[in-house]
A = this chain, B = another copy of it.
Amino acid sequence: MREGRLVVVGGSAAGMSAAARAKRRRPEWEVVVLERGPHISYSACGLPYYISGEVKRPDELVVLTPERVRKERGIEALVRHEVVEVQPSRRLVIALDLETSQERAFSYDKLVLAMGGAPKVPEVPGVDLKWVFRVRDLQDGIGLQEYIERENPRRAVVVGGGYIGLEMADAFRRRGIHVTVVEQADQVLGMLDPDVAALVEEELARREIRVVKSAEMVRLEGDSEGRFCAVHLKDHVERYWADFALLAVGVQPEVELARSCGVAIGPTGAISVSPKMETNLPNVYAAGDCTEARHVVTGRPAYIPLGTTANKQGRVAGENAVGGFRVFRGVAGTAVVKVGDLEVARTGLSTKEAEEAGFQVVSKNIIARSRAGYYPGGYPLTVKVIAEKGSGRLLGAQLVGREGVALRVNVFAAALSARMTVEEVGQMDLAYAPPFSPVWDPILIAANEALKLVR
């Protein structure tokens, strides 16, 4: 006996989390997921490791199939169904079945919008050439892998030096492909401070990944058969020849559907939501890469599309949609990326972000070892702490090193959630044993050094 019907638009992290949570909480509800692509619930973050060969088969990245969610969870997940219209006044969703090209109408009691984000496409000629790739979804990854195996390319150009660009550049390099990364800004990983990003650039150089910075791409050139062959940069005489190009210039929220049905868009360009993940329309929730989130440091809306956040927001939306009560507490901008042998992580605000948010900033950069000095196998670890002058409030942290980075950044993330000062961070009772850290963990050293600058 159905009590209500939840319709979810989008079958990725946020959508499937919402559906699963709703169904678990209220099994008597009917839950329908409408997904445009051929897959639900796959790990997009795993694509670079599939390309590199560390993950052997694409289906290893598929967490759930429509069959499984139907059978095991009682969720109806319809793939190849593109939602083309939402009629909030009639509580109706119109989807196009891409197999049959027929329109189907789904009525809903509650609706969760989880359309995700879409890779930005540079507005230059040539982006539609053959062998110009992007990695939006699993199909893109499979297509790229097939291309690599079939054509055995020797040279790649990666456009964009963000997380995905560098992960993909690294994956290509592991396959023996020569890589040039073309980055518009004057550093890779724009979410890092320049001095920290410089450490990543050193590692890229060590891996023989060429980086061209301050590079504005003006054109992708094709050969006579319409296949990509070179990138043209503004003010560069030289063309950058390669066998293929990967575009990874960032992600933007997919909001056309939401906008067209009257859902309010926030200052970041993504869907504006309450802490309960409600949109401005009754009975309509949103979650994941199409929405914005409150930043725990600034308290203001931010657009930081990441799978972890999508999962959490999806759960909150699903819970609330069927009558529960949960709030999403916001994002800290925590992220980690592996580049060559380096772990690179950040959380909170960068120096630039903190200044733009109106903080008076102090920062301190330290190098300490990942293990006790006398214990074999440790590595130097760079930790940068960003704090507010005067109050000493922790604003952000960035870490780079060969081990112990990814998990250490989480301690700073916890401290940001709790609005700790660097004085408090510097006194935390962290675990110590020689194989795992020096007696003063690099976290504590960095916080205590930053403390000296605060007053």
Q: Is A288 an interface residue (CB 8 A)?
A: no
CA distance in complex: A217, B334 (Å): 51
Question: Within 8 Å of chain B (Cβ to Cβ): is A329?
Answer: yes
Interface residues on A, range: 35 or more
- Given A45-B433, A375-B49, decide whether A428 and B417 contact each other with a Cβ distance below 8 A: yes
- Contact partner of A431 (CB less than 8 A), chosen from B13, B347, B420, B430, is B347
Q: Quote the shortest CB–CB distance from A436 to chain B (angstroms).
A: 4
Q: Chain B CB within 10 Å — which of A331, A414, A436 has the most?
A: A414
Contact with B along A413-442 (1 / 0, CB 8 A): 111111010001101111111111101110
CA distance A417 to B430 in the complex (A): 10
Question: Do residues A437 and B406 form an inter-chain contact, with CB atoms below 8 A?
Answer: yes
CA distance A308 to B434 in the complex (A): 12
Contacts of A365 in B (CB 8 A): none
A11 in contact (CB, < 8 A): no
Is A336 located at the chain interface by the 8 A CB criterion? yes
Report yes or no: B418 in contact with A417, Cβ–Cβ below 8 A.
Answer: yes
List the B residue with the shortest CB-CB distance to A441: B410
- List residues of chain B with CB within 8 A of the CB of A49: 374-375, 434-435
- CB of B13 within 8 A of CB of A439, answer yes
Residue of B nearest to A311 (CB): B439
Complex CA–CA separation, A21 to B420 (angstroms): 24
**A357-410: which have CB < 8 Å to B?**
372, 374-376, 404, 406-410
Interface status of A200 (Cβ within 8 A of chain B): no
Contacts known (A60-B374, A374-B60, A375-B46); A413 close to B428, Cβ less than 8 A: yes
Closest to A295 in B: B429
Q: Please, which residues of chain B bring their CB within 8 A of the CB of A55? A: 374-376
Decide: A407 and B436 in contact? CB cutoff 8 A. yes
CA gap between A343 and B437 in the complex, in Å: 13
Q: State in angstroms the CA–CA spacing of A433 and B405 once bound together.
A: 12
A307 vs B311: C-alpha distance when bound (angstroms): 39
Q: A112–B95 Cα gap in the complex (Å)?
A: 75
Minimum CB–CB distance for A1 against chain B, Å: 26
A309–B417 CA distance with the chains assembled, in angstroms: 24
A142 at the interface (CB under 8 A from B): no
Contact A413 B430 (CB under 8 A): yes
**Assembly CA distance A329 to B308 (angstroms):** 32
Minimum CB–CB distance for A39 against chain B, Å: 14
Instruction: Flag if B374 contacts A61 (CB, 8 Å).
Output: yes
Q: Which residues of the other chain, B, contact A407 by a CB distance below 8 angstroms?
A: 404, 407-408, 410-411, 431, 436-437
* Residues of B contacting A430 in the complex (Cβ-Cβ under 8 angstroms): 308, 334, 410, 413
A43 at interface by CB-CB < 8 Å: yes
Please give me the residue from chain B that is nearest to A404 by CB atom.
B407
- Residue A338 interfacial (CB < 8 Å): yes
State whether B432 touches A306 (Cβ < 8 A): yes
Report, nearest first, the 6 A-B pairs whose CB atoms are least far apart.
Answer: A418-B418, A407-B407, A406-B436, A336-B431, A414-B414, A332-B429
13 contacts between A and B (CB under 8 A): A46-B372, A308-B430, A308-B440, A332-B428, A336-B432, A336-B436, A407-B436, A410-B428, A413-B430, A414-B428, A415-B418, A417-B427, A418-B418
Contacts A45-B439, A408-B410 aside, 12 further interface pairs with beta carbons under 8 A come to A43-B434, A45-B432, A55-B376, A308-B432, A311-B439, A312-B427, A334-B431, A338-B435, A407-B411, A407-B431, A414-B420, A417-B418
